[in-house]
Structure 1
Amino acid sequence: MAMMVNLGGIVPLSTVDWPGRVSAVIFLRGCSFRCPFCQNAELQSGWTPVDISELMERLFPRRGSGQSILHEFSGSLGIDSVVLSGGEPLAQGEAALAIARHVTARGLDLGVETNGYHPEALEALISEGYLGMVFLDIKAAPREDAYLRATGVGDALPRVLRSMDVIMEHDTPFEIRITVFPGMPSEDELNEIFDLLQRIKPRSLISVVLQQGIPPRGGFEPVSEENLRRLAQPLKFNVRIRSVRRSVP
């Protein structure tokens, strides 16, 4: 039986989704969260089914030599990985596993950008040995009322904390990403997140990114990079500041 993927788009070459790597990015549709300033709101819903064999053909098109375009690139441009993004890619857990099998069979590493709402799907990918990196979005302070306000979902926080436990239990390399909009999360909430990290001291945490939230249709001035650097000062982990400019294909 064919495996269908609800596909949002493909970026064939990215240097920003996995720092230090050159990746292809697969966007999957669907997300339980309804964050008020979602950067990819068009991928929260919708149905654009693609058979996984067709997706793999798009990602790894066969050449006359029998090699794929990405394999040819890997020699000269250093493409060595694929990142699953969305939407929330782990909302399609079985599709994510199927993609992972195809990607790793071709000798490429796999990363996933996730909001942490599907710890079971995350654990399946990690326990099978498919994930080289997790990029975990933290939306709010580790309080249920804060997470409800930030995501519109009442049971989000325990799922996100369970995802973090899964990552730490398996010692999987991960990066935490916090998108900062004016007042959301607030400076106090950021400090609550920092306090949590400093309390649990995750060994496999590579870095924490404070990234600039861009209004989807204008309406406010983004938090400046200078202010993001100031907000990051209390954090004792490796911190990066990032401007978010890219849109979904």
Structure 2
Amino acid sequence: MTSPYDALAPYYDEVVRGRRDDAKVLRQVLKKYRCRPKTVLDLACGSGKLTKEFKNAKVTGIDLSPGMLTLAREQLPEATLLQADMRSLRLPGRFDAAWCMYDSMNHLANFRDWTRTMQTAHRHLNPGGVFVFDVNTVTKLEAMVADSPFMHHFKKGMLVTEVSKQKSRYLWQLNIFERQKDDLYRLQEAEIPETAYETERILEVMERTFEDVTILDPVRKRPSKHSLRLYFAGRRAKMK
């Protein structure tokens, strides 16, 4: 099974930055629920660098990309890492916390898949366990379409990202120019489709599935129609 992230994997950690800031926000959310997880399920774990910040937790990570799992094995040598689909995952154990970060929910093809992934998280949590995920909002993706393309220079070369809208999806065209000898570049290409939905629709499913649901805008004081990125969190009901 291949993934568009296989092409991006060798450059991923140089291009995607700010993991400690993201870990700080994630800890802030978990603290609100008084959750200090000893076991963590990382859905779409990517390179594993975010979850590496949670050093005291026993980690199980899943991802569809073999290339990203190779990176994760370097970052999380003690973790259980599996190539699996988070929409249909069924593991024998349960966890104190589960998360799905870096807009991985947006990568799902339709809202039914978003719902299935929320159900996956719920199914794998201990009673009282917490699920957290972040999303690119419709506002952000529409702005990216309007402002595209974007250029990002990194040590090995340059990433050019073009975002276009195709019906109800947003298509990210990633062009990675890797620097070679004699001022030559090697081109790697990947296409990553994203979907986005209104906050109210996401919240409705979260509140049907979890209790104590919250939404956090990591930049603004409170979520609004101007929010670019949102964190959603909820708790699996405790046993009575």
Shorter-chain-normalised TM-score: which range? Answer: 0.3 to 0.5
TM-score for the superposition, normalised by structure 2: 0.36
**The structure with more strand, counted as a fraction of residues:** 2
Q: Higher relative contact order at CA 8 Å, sep ≥6: structure 1 or structure 2?
A: 2
TM-score for the superposition, normalised by structure 1: 0.35
